[in-house]
Structure 1
Amino acid sequence: MSFAPTHPESVFTYGAPQLKFGPGARHELGHDLAQLGAHRVLLVTDAGVAATGAPAEIAETLGRDGIEVVVFDRSRVEPTDASLVEAVEFARAAAPFDAVLAVGGGSSIDTAKAVDLLLTNDGELMDYVNAPVGGARAPGNPLLPLVAVPTTTGTGSESTTICVLDVVSQHVKTGISHPRLRPTLAVVDPELTITQPAGVTAASGLDILCHALESYTARPYTSYEAKRADQRVPYCGSNPVADLWCEKALALMAGSFRRAVRDGDDEAARMDVAMAATFAGLGFGNAGVHIPHANAYPIAGQVRAFRPADYPAPAGEADHGLVPHGMAVSLTAPEAFRHTFEAAPDRHVRAAELLAPGADRPDAAVDFLPGVLTDVMRDVGIPPGLGAVGFTGADVSSLAEGAMKQERLLATAPRAVTVEDVAGILHRSIELW
C-alpha cells in the first residue's frame, strides 16, 4: 500500500551536531567545552566504560584545563525509566552545571540527554516520553550544551534527537524525541572503541546497518501530507541528503564490519566502523527508521532469560535478561525488508548491492536484501532468530502489540503497517536460518 497525499510535502529538514572526528579527538575536549562557555560540567558514563579508565582520563585532563567535573558513572546499559530518574535526581542534587558531557555508548548518551532535558525543564520523565506510552510533552526551554563522546560504534546517539528507554511497568521500549535533544557537539575518537568486545561490536554494528537500511528504505518525505513549519518532526522521511549518509555508511560497513568483529585491534576497520556509525546517525536522525526498530523495542522489553556474551549483568541483576538493542533490531530486519520490498524495489536492491558489492543476485529480487543481511548476521555471530533468544510463537501477539505502540517509527515505514503485518514478520523471524 502506497501513500498518496492530497497536498504532498515539498520541504525536508536536515539537522546535525557539530562534529569532530579522528584518533585523539578526545584530548581536545577542554578547548571544545571552553568554547561553549563551560566551567562546571556533569560527565555521564557507565560502570563498564568507567572501568576502562577513559572517563577518568578525560576528567583529569579537563581539570588541568580549569573545568570542574562531576562524574555520574551509574548509567544503565539499556536505560530504564528508573535508571534515568536516578541519573536526573543525582544531577539535580549536584547542579548547577554549564554543560553535560556524555562518555560511553548510546545508553550513556541517552541518559545524558534525559538529564539535560530535566535539568532545564520542569516536570517529570514520563511527561516527555512519546505517546501513547507517555505524555509527549515538548521541552519549553533550551537545554544545556551537550557534548557526546561515543565509545561504541552503533547507536548514532551522538547525532540524533532521540533518547531511548525501557518503561519497565509496560514491558516496552520507547523514547523521547525532540530537536533540542540533539547533542551540540559529537566528538568521535575511534581509539575509544578499541576495547569494545567482539559481541558488542557485532550487536552495535547491526544497529548501524539497520539505521542505514531503514532510513534508505523509509517512505519519501514527499509521501507525507504538507505540513506547517511548527508541525515538522525530526524524522521527515528519506531525502537526498540523508540518502548520501546512508549509502556511504553501508559501503564502509561492507568493507570493514566483519574485520572489526574478528580483529578488534584492526585500527583501519575500527576507523571505518566508527565513521559508518556517525554517518548512519546523520542519515537516520533525519530520515527516520521503521519496522525493525519498532519490533526491537518490545523484543528488548519482554526478554526473559537470554543474555549474550560480552554483556555481563549489573550487580543484583544476574537473572535479568537482555537482548542488546542492535541485536533486537536485526532479528526481524530480514523479514521486515521482505515485507517492505514492494514499496521501493529499486532501493532495496541498491541497498543490498552496497552492502554486498559483487554478490550474485537471486532469481527473486525480494530475497536479495534479506539474504545479504542474514549472511552478515551469521558471519558476526548474531543469533539465528527470535527463537534463539527465548521467544516462541506464543509470544508473537504480545510482541506485535508492543511494536504497534511505536507509532512514531511505524509512520516512517514505506508501506502502511497493520498488526497482522507485524505478527507475520515476527512469526517468520522465529527462525531465520
Structure 2
Amino acid sequence: MSYERSVSAPEHDLQPETVWHLQMPQIRCGRDAVEELAFQLADLGVSADDDPHGLVVTDEDLVDIGHVGRVTDHLEDAGYNVTVWDGADREPTIENVDGCIEFVRENEGEDGYDFYVGFGGGSCIDVAKTTRAVIANGGQVLDYIAEPTGGGEALTDSGPPLVLMPTTAGTGAEISPVAILSVEEKEIKEGISSNHIRADAAVLDPTFTTTLPPEITAKSAMDALGHAIEGYTTHPFDGLLRASNPESRPVYAGRTELTEMFSEKAIELLSGNVRTAVHNGDNLEARAAMLKGALFGAIAGLTAGASLAHAMAYPVGNRYHTYHGETIAVLTPASTLGYNVASDPERFVEVANMLGADTDGMGTREAADQARQEFVRLQQDLNVIPSGLEELAGVTEEDIDWLATQTVETQQRLLRCNPRPVTKDDAADIFRDALHNWE
C-alpha cells in the first residue's frame, strides 16, 4: 500500500481501512410514488393529527407547470399544512440559501418548520438540505462551510424530517450527504459534507420527469453516468487509510462490492435508456429507468466518491455559469475516461464493455481506451451535448491556467478521491484535452 498516494480522513492511522459504512435515506421509487408522500412523513413521525406545518422548497418553473401543486394538494388532502418557498436558483449561492433561511425564521421563528420537502433538481434539493441543517444547528450557512472560506463548524443536529423529491434524473442529491453552493465573490463552489445534512427519505416519481426538455434530460444523465463511472473506478475502501475514529471517516470512503454492483446497474440503465428518454421524452418506462439509474449511480458514486471530473467541473461552472451536468459531460472523456485510465486499465475495460464497446481481440490498454470512445459516441447520438469546453463556454487556452489552479487549490475534497494523483500541470493538460471531444 502506497501511503503517500492514499486518500483518507484528515486524521488517520498509517494502516489500511478495514471498515466500510453505508447510510441511506428511506427510499420510495416508482410511478405515482408522490401518492405515498404523506405516508412517508407519518412513517418519519410527522402525524397530520398534530397539525404540523411544513415547507416545500422549490423553484418558480416547477410551480408554473403545476408539479408543485400536485405535491401540495396531496399533502393538504392528507391533513398537512404546507407553505411553498419557490426562490431556489439554478446554481444556488450562499446568499440564495440565506434567503430561504430568513424566510423560515421570519415565518416560524428559530425553531423552523415541523418538516421540509425539497422538490426539484439538485439545486432545489441542496437549498432544502442546507436550510434544514442551518435552522437546526443555528447560525448562518458560512459557519458550516470549510475554512478558510467559512467557519468550518461541524453540524451536530439533523433537525426535523426532510423528504427530497427529484424532478431530474442526474444529481443524486436526494441521497447525498453533501450540499454544493456557489461563493460568487471567490468564483468557487464549496460543499457542506455531513451525514447530518442527508435527508431522512427520498421519494422518486418518474411522472415528474416527463416534462424535462431533451437537453436537460441528456445533461442530467451525464452527471448520473459520471457518478456511476467515478464510483466504479475510484479507490477501493481498503486502499485508503484508516480513520482515527469513526466520526472522522470521510463521507466519500472508497468503493466496495456493494457500490460496484450499484455502479454496474446504473451504467446499464443510464446508457441503455438515455437515447430513448432524450428523443422520446414521453416514454415513461425509459424515464423510470433513468430515475433508477441516477439513484443507483448516486448510491455508488456519492458513497465511494466522486473524483476528477467533478473537481474540474466546479471551477468551470462557477466562472461560466454552465449547467453542472453538461460540464461533467464535456470533462468526463478527458478526465475520468482519459487521464484516469492509467490507474487501472483492466477496470476501464469493464467500463468500456458496460457502455457497449466491442473490445474482443484488443489488448488491455487499447480496450480500456474504448470507454472514452463509446462515451463520446453516446453524447453525439444525443445531439444536445456540447463538443467540448470551447463550445460549452468559449473556454480557450488563455483560461486554462486559472481553471487548473482553481481545481488543485479549491477541490482537494474531491481530488483526494481520485485514483491517480493530479498536479496543476496535469489538470492543465486535461482541460486542454477537453477543449474539443470531437470535431
Question: What's the TM-score once normalised by structure 2's chain length?
Answer: 0.91
1:134 positional shift: 2.8
Match of 1:153 in 2: 169
1:179-234 deviation per Cα after TM superposition (whole angstroms, max 9, x unaligned): 11111111000111010111110110000100001111111211211112121011
The 1-side partners of 2:350 and 2:294 are apart by: 20
**Residue 384, structure 1, aligned to residue 387, structure 2:** yes
1:27 positional shift: 1.2
Question: For 1:336, what is the secondary structure of its paired residue?
Answer: coil
Pair 258,49 (structure 1): closer, same or farther in 2 beyond 3 Å = same
Question: For 2:373, what is the secondary structure of its paired residue?
Answer: helix
The 1-side partners of 2:359 and 2:94 are apart by: 44
Say whether the 8 Å CA contact 2:229–2:301 is kept in structure 1.
Answer: no
**Residue 343, structure 1, aligned to residue 343, structure 2:** yes
Match of 1:37 in 2: 45
> Structure 2 counterpart of 1:342, which letter?
A
Match of 1:102 in 2: 118
Match of 2:10 in 1: none
1:146-191 deviation per Cα after TM superposition (whole angstroms, max 9, x unaligned): 1001111100111111111111001112211111111111100011
**Residue 403, structure 1, aligned to residue 407, structure 2:** yes
Gaps of 5+ in 2: 7-13, 47-51
Number of residues of Structure 1 aligned to a counterpart in Structure 2: 415
Match of 1:200 in 2: 216
Pair 362,387 (structure 1): closer, same or farther in 2 beyond 3 Å = farther
Match of 1:326 in 2: 325
2:33 maps to which of 25, 30, 51: 25
1:378-402 deviation per Cα after TM superposition (whole angstroms, max 9, x unaligned): 2222101111121101111111122
Say whether the 8 Å CA contact 1:219–1:415 is kept in structure 2.
Answer: no
Say whether the 8 Å CA contact 2:270–2:294 is kept in structure 1.
Answer: no
Question: What's the TM-score once normalised by structure 1's chain length?
Answer: 0.92
2:425 maps to which of 420, 428, 432: 420
The 2-side partners of 1:270 and 1:420 are apart by: 40
1:110-169 deviation per Cα after TM superposition (whole angstroms, max 9, x unaligned): 010111011101221112123453333211223221100111110011111111111100
1:360 positional shift: 6.5
> Structure 2 counterpart of 1:407, which letter?
Q
Say whether the 8 Å CA contact 1:136–1:176 is kept in structure 2.
Answer: no
The 1-side partners of 2:177 and 2:317 are apart by: 21
1:36 positional shift: 2.2
Pair 369,357 (structure 1): closer, same or farther in 2 beyond 3 Å = closer
The 2-side partners of 1:130 and 1:346 are apart by: 36
Identity among equivalent positions (%) equals 34
1:251 positional shift: 0.7
Match of 2:23 in 1: 15
1:83 positional shift: 0.9
Mean CA deviation greater in 376-385 or 131-140? 131-140
Match of 1:298 in 2: 315
2:98 maps to which of 78, 85, 100: 85
Pair 360,263 (structure 1): closer, same or farther in 2 beyond 3 Å = farther
Mean CA deviation greater in 200-209 or 214-223? 214-223
Say whether the 8 Å CA contact 1:401–1:419 is kept in structure 2.
Answer: yes
The 1-side partners of 2:388 and 2:369 are apart by: 17
